[in-house]
Amino acid sequence: MPRTPLIRAACTSAVAIGLSLATPGNASPAADVDQADRQAARELLEDILKIRTAKGYGQTRAQAELLADRLRAAGFTEDQIDIPTMTIEGEEVASLVVRYPGEEGSTEAPIALIAHMDVVDASTETWASDPYQPIEKDGYLYARGSVDNKAGVALLTSTFIRLKEDGYTPDRDLIIAFSADEETGMQTTRMLTQHPWVKEAEFALNSDAGVGSVDSEGLNPSYSIQSAEKTYATFHVTATNEGGHSSAPSADNALFDIADAIEGIRSLSFPVGFNDITRQMAEDLADAEGGDFASAMRTLLENPQDEDARAIVEANDAGTHFLYTTCVPTMLSAGSAENALPQKAELTVNCRILPGTSVQSVQDALTEAVDNPEISVELVGEPLESPVSPINEELFASIRGAVHAIYPDAPVKPSMSSGGTDGKEYRAAGIPTYGAGAITLVRPDDFRAHGIDERLPLESYYEQLTFWDVLLKDLAGEDDQ
């Protein structure tokens, strides 16, 4: 099937590529992904970056409709596109689900391809340019959501458009599922996991997870497949008393009590624990670091209770928080006037909990560390505990092949993250989920998601078109007809 003139009319000029990562052995883009494809994907990304889909602006429907229009123009029919809506705190939010039908009679379960359309809001006062007017500079595209996660939205949509226009038929259904409140509550995500097109998926590929990186010189690319996430849980630790005038201080002071509680929490240590994913991470880290660190890490792998080995590992700034649950005070609120003893002091403690460890057990550990029956330790909200996705060697081989189509020598390993994504909702719903979207290789100073002057390396964005093309055709058939 020829590509439609509507999509390709504006794509006659070459794409200006301002960034060339100095990575060895870069493969040429697949023949299916040409300059016109790059330009179309760039234009789609810029169009959705201009839509302020932060909470409170009511713009997620506008973005969903824009994407749906582009998909319809490429040949997707009305019965293959769904824009489910829900009202959250008085605001209508819209998600997008798209079904790319597989071969007739296929018995293979679908693959879900997930991203989120919402962003953390940004202020024009703190950015060097308007965060909702994308601008290119030195090979980067600056805009809110350029990395988190509108690049994923645009790449998956562009890939569906390109494959449809080329007449490609997968051997199983491919399902796009774009949520609308990943940054604030994931209510739309929970809804999407139960959507009739999504809930039967064999697994989900999350464009908002996985990590691609290079060093400060743009060398040594590496890639991780996010296969698990720690549970995010927040607790309020609260001390109360009668207060009084500051001119007549008392030893019975809510702030003193909270200070003691902080010391107890400071000394709290959770046990080292391994799952299939973190065991691989520990082995890889030992190989990379070498020396005493490697010996200590391998000792922990054999005996997680070895305190001497743990002390050596923790003394090395090598990112070892994946080994155990962490809890840390993040906020403190107390008092109402400078000349009054506080009647209440409240400490906020944020925990990142290993999969398989219950939130209740962490609350019990905090209560024991505080060691004061007059101080309450209360859970905030309803944290979601999600399992580790099983190691899927066949899928990992496909992801590895897609990465190596661009970076032939890059190591590709499974990982667990401490942050939260839509993936935890999918895992909790019984859909194994793997972060496979962040092949964008960024330098250490380029991690700006949620921050000021968020930016996307454009060359890496274009390379992801090849990544998704290679990956989906490997997972869903080359369609050689």
CATH number for position 335:
3.30.70.360
In which domain, by residue range, is 351 found? 232-380
Structural domains in the chain (count): 2
**Residue 339 clears pLDDT 80, i.e. is over it:** yes
Return all residues near 440 (Cβ < 8 A) that are at least 6 apart. 147, 151, 212, 456, 457, 460, 461, 464
Q: What is the mean pLDDT of residues 5-30?
A: 33
100: DSSP letter: E
Domain boundary among 380, 412, 430: 380
The least confident of 76-85, 182-191, 209-218 is 209-218
Say if residue 291 is in the same domain as residue 376: yes
pLDDT in the model for residue 476: 98
pLDDT tens for 460-481 read 899 999 999 999 999 999 865 5
**Residue 26 clears pLDDT 50, i.e. is over it:** no
Average pLDDT, the chain: 90
Say if residue 294 is in the same domain as residue 256: yes
Domain boundary among 350, 380, 410: 380
Say if residue 374 is in the same domain as residue 438: no
Domain harbouring 185, CATH code: 3.40.630.10
Looking at 280-365, which runs of residues are DSSP E strands? 326-334, 340-341, 344-353
Tell me the pLDDT band of 213, cut-offs 50, 70 and 90. confident
Say if residue 342 is in the same domain as residue 448: no
Tell me the pLDDT band of 278, cut-offs 50, 70 and 90. very high
pLDDT in the model for residue 14: 28
Say if residue 205 is in the same domain as residue 295: no
130: DSSP letter: -
* Interatomic CA distance for residues 188 and 207, integer angstroms: 17
**Residue 13 clears pLDDT 90, i.e. is over it:** no
Say if residue 370 is in the same domain as residue 391: no
pLDDT in the model for residue 440: 56
Say if residue 211 is in the same domain as residue 257: no
pLDDT in the model for residue 32: 67
In a domain, 79, yes or no: yes
* Interatomic CA distance for residues 346 and 152, integer angstroms: 39
Q: Which residue bears the tokens 């999509």?
A: 7
Say if residue 333 is in the same domain as residue 464: no
In a domain, 182, yes or no: yes
Q: What is the mean pLDDT of residues 66-94?
A: 98
The least confident of 5-19, 44-58, 112-126, 455-469 is 5-19
pLDDT in the model for residue 450: 83
pTM higher than 0.95 = no
Q: What is the mean pLDDT of residues 437-456?
A: 74
Tell me the pLDDT band of 444, cut-offs 50, 70 and 90. low
Q: Are 474 and 37 in contact (CB under 8 A)?
A: no
In a domain, 56, yes or no: yes
pLDDT in the model for residue 10: 33
pLDDT in the model for residue 214: 74
Say if residue 109 is in the same domain as residue 157: yes
Q: What is the mean pLDDT of residues 17-27?
A: 31
pLDDT in the model for residue 218: 72
Say if residue 252 is in the same domain as residue 206: no
Say if residue 221 is in the same domain as residue 238: no
CA atoms within 13 A on the CB side of 186: 15
The least confident of 4-13, 210-219, 457-466 is 4-13
Question: Closest by alpha carbon to 232, among 384, 67, 349?
Answer: 384
pLDDT in the model for residue 3: 40
**Residue 298 clears pLDDT 50, i.e. is over it:** yes
Domain boundary among 332, 365, 380: 380
pLDDT in the model for residue 480: 55
Q: Are 165 and 71 in contact (CB under 8 A)?
A: no
pLDDT in the model for residue 12: 28
Say if residue 61 is in the same domain as residue 193: yes
Q: Greatest CA span in the chain, whole angstroms?
A: 88
In a domain, 365, yes or no: yes
Q: Which residue bears the tokens 């996660």?
A: 149
In a domain, 481, yes or no: no
